[in-house]
Amino acid sequence: MEFSVKKFDLLQELSLSQGVVERKTTIPILGNILCEAAGNQVTLTATDLELSIRTSCEAKVKKEGSGTIPAKKLLELVRLLPEGEIRFKLLENHWVQILADRKTYKMVGMSKDNFPAIPAFPHPLVTIPAKILSSLIAKTAFAISNEESRYTLNGALLLLKPDTITMVATDGHRLAMAEIDHKFAGLTREVRPLVPKKALTEIQRLASEAGEDGQIEFALDDSHLFFRVGERLLISRMLTGQFPNYEAVLPRDNNKHVVIERNELNDAVKRVAQLADQRSHAVKLSVTQEGVEISASSPEYGEAKETLEKEYKGEPLAIGFNADYMLDFLAAAAEGPISLELKDEQSAGQMRPLAEEAYRYRYIIMPMRI
């Protein structure tokens, strides 16, 4: 293997793979990046066994071949090198020589035979605009569970139907769901894979690199999900198990509506939460004819009370929510009015932003006893 590549190109691709390369591992090969030089490009592959990324950049290939290089050290070195050409050459015993101008470095690689096999991209199933996918992830990913024992909640459900695309995430206490109309040419059935959390983060990075009208090609086989943007391919292992039947928990008859500006509600909840109980983060929302009173109290710190004057015609109601859960949603929701929809003290509350209507965005929180 021998090739030369521009620093700028290489650095860009290498930084993309950093999110995937496993730093914390006792399996040495996973800290390495696989470089394959062929034709007029070099392909870089990184994997942590759950997630793999394959990117490539233009290169002058003198001799085709492949080798592995420690990913983290390579990135740090390339970052420090001045702009210009960098030459790579595979030496004996898996060493890789790196030449830039009159600077010479040699890195200890590992045999490429140890590098895990990465599945090839199958026939693309659909093309999703990067902006839509990225936006769906931003609206839902925060609700994914971090509890490892609830494995089917460790990812978001991506539901593709011939004319809609939906993403749902839940941790059992709250559920975020966003849906948008999008006609998929050639999709006749419903596809509903579970996408692991780490993959979602990387998809967002790829999407942001893809720019305004970037398109993500999506495909799946029995055990992998594939997301391709141009030459960059992200491969995630699929999670097993059934995502809970989320449709059953979507509230149907929450008929007590009150509309609040996002920023107003966000600021008020944030302030009140300062004095909320440190363990439960509970705040109480009392909705009456006068408006919405947000209050919290904790035995150690004291109590807080704010009243937002809003129009409300229904029966008075008081309900408790976890302030953190509310703030997560308010940070993700578009600016503008938010509709808070309740039924009674014991039933789940729903929040819906009224702006940005294209995304049918709903957020459901289970109430707390207060």
Partner 1 sequence: MSFSEFLGNPRIVAALRGMLAGERVPHAMLFTGPRGVGKFTLARMFAQAANCERFRDDFCGECDTCRRIGLLADTRPLIAQGLAQRGERPDAATVERIPLLLETHPDVWAVVPDPVRSKDPVARPALRVGQLRAVQRAAYFKPQGRRRIFILDGAETMRWDFANIFLKILEEPPESATLILIAPNPFQLLPTIRSRCLQFSFTPLATADVEEILRARTEMEPAERKLAAQLSEGSPGAAMDLDLEAAVKLRRDALTVLERSVELRGVSALFASTSALAKSQEIAFENVLEVFYSLLTDVLDLSCIPSRKVLRNPGLRKELETLSKKVDVIWVSKAVNGFDALHARLRRNINRSLGLDAVAISLARPAPNTGSSNLR
Footprint on this chain of partner 1 (rule: CB under 8 A): 24-28, 31, 49-50, 114, 116-117, 119, 148-149, 151-152, 154, 196, 222-224, 237-241
Closest CB 160 distance from partner 1, rounded Å:
18
DSSP, collapsed to helix, strand or coil, labels residue 288 as: strand
Residue pair 34/88 in contact by the 8 Å Cβ criterion: no
Within 8 A by CB and 6+ apart from 223, the residues are: 237, 238
| Distance between CA atoms of residues 105 and 286, nearest Å | 67
- CA-wise closest residue to 144 among 160, 166, 168, 165: 168
| Distance between CA atoms of residues 131 and 213, nearest Å | 7
At 176, which amino acid appears? A
User: Which is nearer to partner 1, 57 or 74 (by Cβ)?
Assistant: 74
User: Which is nearer to partner 1, 208 or 223 (by Cβ)?
Assistant: 223
Distances (CA, A) of 256 to 249, 339, 347: 18, 10, 12
Closest CB 203 distance from partner 1, rounded Å:
17
At 11, which amino acid appears? L
| Distance between CA atoms of residues 287 and 91, nearest Å | 73
User: Which is nearer to partner 1, 199 or 287 (by Cβ)?
Assistant: 199
User: Which is nearer to partner 1, 154 or 166 (by Cβ)?
Assistant: 154
| Distance between CA atoms of residues 86 and 252, nearest Å | 61
User: Which is nearer to partner 1, 220 or 308 (by Cβ)?
Assistant: 220
Closest CB 156 distance from partner 1, rounded Å:
15
Closest CB 148 distance from partner 1, rounded Å:
5
**HSE of 308, CA atoms in CB hemisphere, 13 A:** 22
Closest CB 23 distance from partner 1, rounded Å:
9
Closest CB 154 distance from partner 1, rounded Å:
7
User: Which is nearer to partner 1, 31 or 349 (by Cβ)?
Assistant: 31
